[in-house]
Amino acid sequence: MSEEEIDKDNRGWTAGQLRNNTLEAKERIKTFRKKLINEGSYFYGAPVIKENYELKYGEKISLWFVNNTLKEYGMVKSLQPYQFRKSQKYFNKNF
């Protein structure tokens, strides 16, 4: 084998590309979230979006992918530092 053949790497996908899911799937997740919020649904978290996606399109999608997509689009509310500390105190009580 020559040095050129060794340096060539044809094993995977191109950098920056999604491996299993498409950009279309990301857009679908985004629209599902907006639709659920606009309907006034009480449940609009990642598990609900995942179930709706799989029922409508018949494609399996991971919960991790849904969570990351929602974070990427800024559609997830994270705990404020103060709230996080309060919850830590609650869960770490010595009973």
Q: What's the number of domains the chain is made of?
A: 1
For 56-75, the pLDDT digits (tens) are: 999 999 999 999 999 999 88
- Residue 6 falls within a domain, yes or no? no
For 5-14, the pLDDT digits (tens) are: 666 666 666 6
Q: Alpha helices of the chain — where are they, by DSSP H?
A: 3-7, 23-39, 46-57, 63-72, 81-91
User: Which residues are within 8 A (CB) of 28 and not within 5 positions of it... i.e. 6 or more apart?
Assistant: 53, 57
- Residue 11 falls within a domain, yes or no? no
Q: How far is CA 91 from CA 82, 83, 95, in A?
A: 15, 13, 10
61 with 21: CB under 8 angstroms? yes
Side-chain-side CA neighbours of 74 within 13 Å: the count stands at: 0
- Residue 8 falls within a domain, yes or no? no
